[in-house]
């Protein structure tokens, strides 16, 4: 396995655990970190042994945003020509399930990266926010779009315009996070969820992710058509035969990712 300057990686069963690791900067997302994250995700996407990935930070911070010290000197032409943060798309285009396990601060780009994941499990200490406005900018990696789709206009406007933080309970009520767990249980709970996902047939899992993700892109009619096409296609898999036979025969299925 490769080693990275700003990430720690660990394989647990069929799950890869990726830990953002810039402790002195509260995991601020600089270009090295985002390039390393894109690199490791591309490896896991190709690796048949990996069925799902958990992305986490430290207890104090998932990530306190894009690296302000790196952005400070940017001018418009630099930002535009280099498509500053364009490389972050590697997180949202990753095709296997990706769970964010968030403890502490998930601010600005940190909140945005968490929202690029398929779902967020939060510790009771998590704090989410889009404080860009306090720096004279606005969210640049999906905060105005994914946050609004997740929590609705009222709360998204409140957070983006005031720059305030919301705690885990508010984030769960608003629909931004799928569950809250005690801080000390966070990694285990997220890895267990990922392991469960990884135990199901790979193609069905990836299509389920693709179908739900599609609902954010297209009309209901088109989304339903897309879902139906994927649904029908799964009847061409051996694992569908195995899953249904096992149910009828009252035994555990032995999936082969075929
Ligand atoms: N960038 C760079 N360094 C940071 C960042 C950051 N986002 N956040 C924290 N750090 C550094 C601090 O500078 C400090 O370093 P040093 O010890 O060298 O002074 C160290 O991390 C510890 O931070 P604090 O001492 O501030 O820790 P506190 O516990 O007192 O405060 C906070 C924690 C409240 C999280 C505070 O650090 C903070 O407000 N951080 C900035 C949060 C923020 O504004 N984030 C949004 C950044 S903008 C952004 O993300 C845009 C994303 C869109 C993509 C880009 C579009 C162009």
pLDDT tens, residue by residue, 203-230:
999 999 999 999 999 999 999 999 999 9
Q: Give tens-digit pLDDT for 110-167.
A: 999 999 999 999 999 999 999 999 999 999 999 999 999 999 999 999 999 999 999 9
Residue 6 contacts residue 29 (beta carbons within 8 Å): no
User: What residues are annotated to the active site?
Assistant: 66, 109, 112, 132
Alpha helices in the chain (DSSP H): 31-46, 68-71, 76-81, 89-92, 109-116, 146-151, 153-162, 168-174, 186-198, 202-214, 220-233, 238-248
Ligand 1 site residues (CB inside 6 A) read: 25-26, 28, 64-69, 84-85, 105, 107-109, 112, 131-132, 135, 137, 139-141
| Residue from 65, 91, 103, 129 whose mutation best tests the ligand 1 pocket (most atoms within 8 A of CB) | 65
Q: Which atom of ligand 1 is nearest to the CA of 61?
A: 35
pTM for the complete prediction? 0.96
């Amino acid at each position: 396995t490769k080693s990275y300057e700003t990430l720690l990686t660990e394989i647990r069963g069929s799950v890869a655990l990726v830990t953002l690791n810039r402790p002195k900067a509260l995991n601020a997302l600089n270009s090295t970190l985002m390039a390393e994250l894109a690199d490791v995700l591309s490896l896991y996407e190709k690796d048949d042994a990996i069925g799902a990935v958990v992305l986490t930070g430290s207890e104090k911070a998932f990530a306190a945003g894009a690296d302000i010290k790196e952005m400070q000197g940017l001018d418009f032409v630099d930002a535009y020509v280099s498509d500053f943060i364009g490389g972050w798309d590697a997180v949202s285009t990753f095709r296997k399930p990706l769970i964010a396990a968030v403890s502490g601060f998930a601010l600005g780009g940190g909140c945005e990266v968490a929202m690029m994941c398929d779902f967020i499990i939060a510790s009771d200490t998590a704090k989410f926010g889009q404080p860009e406005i306090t720096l004279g900018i606005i969210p640049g990696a999906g905060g105005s779009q994914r946050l609004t789709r997740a929590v609705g206009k009222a709360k998204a406007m409140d957070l983006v315009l005031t720059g305030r933080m919301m705690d885990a309970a508010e984030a769960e009520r608003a629909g931004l996070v799928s569950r809250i767990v005690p801080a000390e249980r966070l990694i285990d709970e997220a890895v267990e969820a990922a392991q469960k996902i990884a135990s199901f047939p790979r193609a069905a899992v990836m299509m389920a992710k693709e179908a739900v993700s599609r609902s954010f892109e297209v009309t209901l009619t088109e989304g339903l058509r897309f879902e139906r096409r994927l649904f029908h296609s799964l009847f061409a898999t051996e694992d569908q035969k195995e899953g249904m036979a096992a149910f009828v025969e009252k035994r555990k299925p032995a999936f082969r990712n075929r």
